[in-house]
């Protein structure tokens, strides 16, 4: 049996392959969840450029934190990435959950980005 990291890398690779087939030139909203923080990027894969980025380490989010890693942080990152993406001229994206299950904090981040105006 393969170890946990190898299985995660396989899921991430499989997810990214399916996204690239369905994207049709749309930017990708990539979500990374570490043990302490949340990160989100809007990436244009055709040019290889990051259009917008947000994390739970930013001053506007970090100052409001009660605990280190909560759903409120994920929602704040989702709202912030949507604002930055819209400011950069991106309204439609493809969601890349990065091999994680679409549940809990990943879902909270995605829902907050949808409410703030991103379409995916």
Whether the CA torsion 56, 61, 66, 71 is positive or negative: it is negative
The span from the CA of 103 to the CA of 101, in Å, is 5
Predicted TM-score (pTM) of the model is 0.86
pLDDT one-digit tens code per residue, 58-94: 887 876 666 667 899 999 999 999 999 999 999 999 9
- Percent helix / strand / coil, the chain, rounded to 5: 45, 20, 35
pLDDT one-digit tens code per residue, 14-71: 888 888 877 888 999 999 998 889 999 999 988 999 999 999 998 878 766 666 678 9
Domain boundaries, given as residue ranges, for the chain: 4-115
CATH 3.30.420.100 fits 4-115, yes or no: yes
Q: Which two tokens stand for residue 23?
A: 């994207």
User: What pLDDT, on the 0 to 100 scale, is given for residue 19?
Assistant: 85
Backbone phi, then psi, for 50, in 5-degree steps? -85, 120
DSSP state of 65: -
DSSP state of 119: B
Identify the residue with better confidence: 10 or 115: 115
Backbone phi, then psi, for 30, in 5-degree steps? -95, 130
């Amino acid at each position: 049996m393969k170890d946990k990291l190898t299985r995660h890398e396989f899921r991430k690779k499989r997810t990214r392959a399916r996204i690239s087939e369905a994207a049709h030139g749309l930017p990708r909203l990539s979500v990374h969840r570490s043990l302490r923080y949340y990160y989100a990027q809007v990436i244009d894969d055709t040019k290889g450029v990051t259009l917008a980025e947000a994390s739970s380490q930013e001053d506007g989010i970090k100052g409001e934190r009660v605990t280190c890693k909560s759903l409120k942080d994920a929602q704040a990152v989702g709202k912030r990435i949507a604002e930055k993406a819209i400011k950069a001229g991106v309204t439609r994206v493809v969601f890349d959950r990065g091999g994680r299950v679409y549940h809990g904090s990943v879902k909270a981040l995605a829902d907050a980005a949808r409410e703030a105006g991103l379409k995916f």
